[in-house]
Structure 1
Amino acid sequence: MTQFTQRARSITLRTVKQVALAGVLLASAVAVIAQTNTPVGTWQTIDDHTGQPKALVQITEDGSGQLSGKVIKGLAANGQPNRCTACTDERKDRPILGMTIISGMKKDGDGWDQGQILDPENGKVYKCKMHLEDDGNKLVVRGYIGVALLGRSQTWVRQQ
């Protein structure tokens, strides 16, 4: 093998490795961007009254593009799984941990709408809409009755 052939092979091998590394980096960047353009992921809820972390909610997407959210960790001080004693549907007296509290959310422009959210503290189910802020690191969740003006919003923080 000539010196020229060895040099060409070395350059080709190095180029292939660089292209492969660039592909891996691009795939990682696309995954991060995709994660920040959707509410799919884990979110820390914040207590309206104390401003302290309250629970972790895992939002997932089903095959039809609808989002739902389940409580995966309660951050209650006593560490005991609270039950939804105020619920009036099939969730009555069931543990809040593992409970689906968001359902039926559909993409609508820059946000998600047409779903429902349960407030386990009072057992009420509200219409729900949500949108992302702060480059996908915050999720503004609004529960309301009738029209969105008659409701309240919470800002949840994305967990990595």
Structure 2
Amino acid sequence: MKHAFRWVIAASLLFGAGTVMAANDTPVGTWKTIDDESGQAKSIVEITDNNGELQAHIVKLLNRSPEDIARDGAVAMCRKCDGERKDKPVEGMNIMWGVHRDDDVWDGGRILDPKSGKIYKVKLSMLDGGQKLNVRGYIGFSWVGRSQTWERQP
């Protein structure tokens, strides 16, 4: 009886560790975005899986400059966006859609830069054991574009 109890505890610990590891091998989760030009944290983004399609929305903007606040007001609006996103609040906005897994990368979708209003193709790849995410936005070929490294949040 004592031996069986130990086995159940060991199996539970192993299963729990496997679950945590599996969660870090996908972009699904909450991320702090880091601006590739300034190195500053810009936002908290949540990536979700909707039937195999990754989507992302902005949970919170960080480190807004006094100039940004003076220009946009207390609630940042997507002033340069087109269509349904035009003049809508950036917080809560869906900024990434149509992304699907392709081996060890996720691509095929689009990502919006709310600051410029531009939409880019996007490619995601995991770094540092799933603690960082390389987000590559590009037009045309992926080698012509910009990358940001996002940090996983607890």
Provide TM-score, normalisation by structure 2: 0.90
Q: Tell me, in whole angstroms, the C-alpha distance in 2 between the residues paired with 1:28 and 1:100.
A: 31
What 5-or-longer segments of structure 1 have no aligned partner? 1-11
1:74 aligns to what?
Answer: 61
1:32 aligns to what?
Answer: 20
Residue 46 of structure 1 deviates from its aligned partner by 0.7
What 5-or-longer segments of structure 2 have no aligned partner? none
Matched residue SS, 1:115:
strand
1:158 aligns with 2:145: no
State whether residues 135 and 149 of structure 2, in contact with CA within 8 Å, keep that contact through their aligned partners in structure 1.
yes
State whether residues 45 and 59 of structure 2, in contact with CA within 8 Å, keep that contact through their aligned partners in structure 1.
yes
1:52 aligns with 2:40: yes
**Superposition pairs of residues 116-131 of structure 1, within 5 angstroms:** 116-131=110-125
Identity %: 47
Q: Which has the larger radius of gyration?
A: 1
State whether residues 83 and 94 of structure 1, in contact with CA within 8 Å, keep that contact through their aligned partners in structure 2.
yes
What per-residue deviation string (whole Å, max 9, x for no partner) do you get for residues 73-115 of structure 1? 1113468331100101211111110111010100012100100
Q: Which amino acid aligns with 1:146?
A: G
Q: Which amino acid aligns with 1:86?
A: K
Provide TM-score, normalisation by structure 1: 0.87
Matched residue SS, 1:90:
helix
Q: Tell me, in whole angstroms, the C-alpha distance in 2 between the residues paired with 1:81 and 1:41.
A: 24
1:102 aligns with 2:89: no
Q: Tell me, in whole angstroms, the C-alpha distance in 1 between the residues paired with 2:11 and 2:83.
A: 49
What per-residue deviation string (whole Å, max 9, x for no partner) do you get for residues 33-55 of structure 1? 11111000011001233211110
1:17 aligns to what?
Answer: 5
Q: Tell me, in whole angstroms, the C-alpha distance in 2 between the residues paired with 1:16 and 1:81.
A: 58
| Paired residues, number | 147
Cα RMSD, aligned residues only: 1.4
